[in-house]
Amino acid sequence: MDQKDTPTKFYNVGLSYKKADVKVRGAFSITKENQKLLLNEAKARGLKGVFVLSTCNRTEITGFANHPFELISLLIKYSNGNVEDFSKVSNVYSNKDAVRHLFNISTGLDSQILGDYEIVGQLKEAFKLAKKLGTTNAYLERLMNLVLQASKEVKNTTKLSSGTTSVAYAAIQYIVDHVPEYAGKKILIFGMGEIGKNTCKNILEYTQNKNVTFINRTFQKALDFKQMHPEVTVVEYDKLTEVISNVDILIVSTGSSVPTIHKEHLTKGKKLLILDLSMPENVDASIKELKDITLVNLDELSKITDKTIEMRKSEIPAAEKIIQKYKDEFNDWISHRKYVPAVNALKESLLAIQNDEINFQSKKIKDFNVEHAEIITTRLIHKITTQFVKHLKDEETSVDQSINVISKMFNIKELSLNEND
């Protein structure tokens, strides 16, 4: 088969916390603006069913391509990473493995903190952006619909997320475990992304601490948040250094591509706990050299959740059972789109052979029983097509190759083998 006729495959390419540390993940992070540029270029290249997911724990591109490097090259181009580093930490999934990967992500099975559902909102936003820019297709839309249904059912019917241990919660757990008399400490949260807001809500709910100050570059966002949480103090950005000098704990969740906290923001000789929840890291690395500063990043925070994780592991089989149900539903949908035309074409070819053979035998054999012959051969055709369907649904089957062989054997022309429409 010529390369131009080779059906494109469904891929997921990227990297995550599993192989890449905070620094490397930061280098491959893709800004929202660059995600738009990437998707537009993918569309111009003729790539379909493509979306980009870039979070603190992973950067991935999912979509159809003839070769995974078509997607990898886009990831490299629109991030600050390079091919050499990517090859050391990357994951490349294709077809059924790529589908399984998306289900595992959405249900929290592949989260850095098992059962963390923060990723679901990010998945929805990533898909929404792709749909807006016209890079989705029927295959991806159906898959994402079932992926999100599975996520919802796992969350509602299992205890996989019991005792929530999101990044925002892990930060609070660290404070509770390591800071004496934490309820009376002065806390500053710098940055009002989702993680920053969730961290603030967790502080108010779990620590009973009312000494929380919020600073955000856009002051109006801080004021809007205060309307719902009047116990929080909000201060304008130009007061950042002054406020830091008066607090005991600084939580940074600014989501910038460069550090937002430097040595000059800190008061020399003053003890301060800094929790950096940003990706890439937004606290300058040189601050670690200061003896009075305790700096904790995302990777360190994830270590405090081990006890909860052990409890959640027992829920994995229940989650996998739910995932399998939705995967089966997706496979059935694929069967209808891909197998049925092939099976129908085979059936039509066999019926033509049946008709020719019965006509031939009825002329050759005196008193030939056409009715009996039709009953027997029709049953044989049904058994053959049923067996063909079972073969196509087998996990080990190369569907495109099998359909291609049948097409050649029975001279079936113009049979579409592509999922990518």
Which CATH number belongs to the domain containing residue 129 in this structure? 3.30.460.30
Q: Looking at the domain assignment, is residue 416 inside a domain?
A: no
Which pLDDT score, from 0 to 100, does residue 417 have?
Answer: 43
Cα–Cα dist 221/218, whole Å: 6
If asked whether residues 187 and 154 sit together in one domain, one would say: no
Where in the sequence is the domain holding 23, given as residue range(s)? 8-162
pLDDT at 186: 95
Q: Is residue 49 part of a domain?
A: yes
Sign of CA dihedral 300, 304, 306, 312: negative
**Residue-wise pLDDT tens digits, 301-314:** 877 666 677 788 99
Name residues whose C-beta falls within 8 Å of residue 80's C-beta, 6 or more positions apart in sequence.
Answer: 27, 28, 29
Cβ atoms 266, 290 nearer than 8 A:
yes
Residues 227 and 189 in one domain: yes
Taking alpha carbons only, the member of 151, 188, 199 closest to residue 266 is 188
260 and 284 part of one domain? yes
Query: Do 102 and 62 contact (CB within 8 A), yes or no?
Result: yes
Residues 144 and 243 in one domain: no
Catalytic option among 56, 74, 99, 113: 56
Among 162, 180, 207, give the residue marking a domain's end.
162
pLDDT string in tens for the chain (421-residue length): 334 434 479 999 999 999 999 899 999 999 999 999 999 999 999 998 999 999 989 999 999 999 999 999 999 999 999 999 999 999 999 999 999 999 999 999 998 878 888 889 999 999 999 999 999 999 999 999 999 999 999 999 998 887 655 678 788 888 988 999 998 999 999 998 888 888 888 888 888 888 999 999 999 988 998 998 899 999 999 999 999 999 999 999 998 889 999 999 999 889 999 999 988 889 998 998 898 999 998 888 877 666 677 788 999 999 999 999 999 999 888 877 777 778 888 899 999 999 999 999 999 998 899 999 999 999 999 999 999 888 887 777 777 788 888 888 887 764 544 455 5
CA distances from 236 to 210, 241, 292 (A): 19, 11, 26
Q: What is the CATH number of the domain that holds 251?
A: 3.40.50.720
Its pTM stands at 0.60
Residue 56 annotated to the active site: yes
Q: Is residue 88 part of a domain?
A: yes
pLDDT score at 117: 80
Domain count, the chain: 3
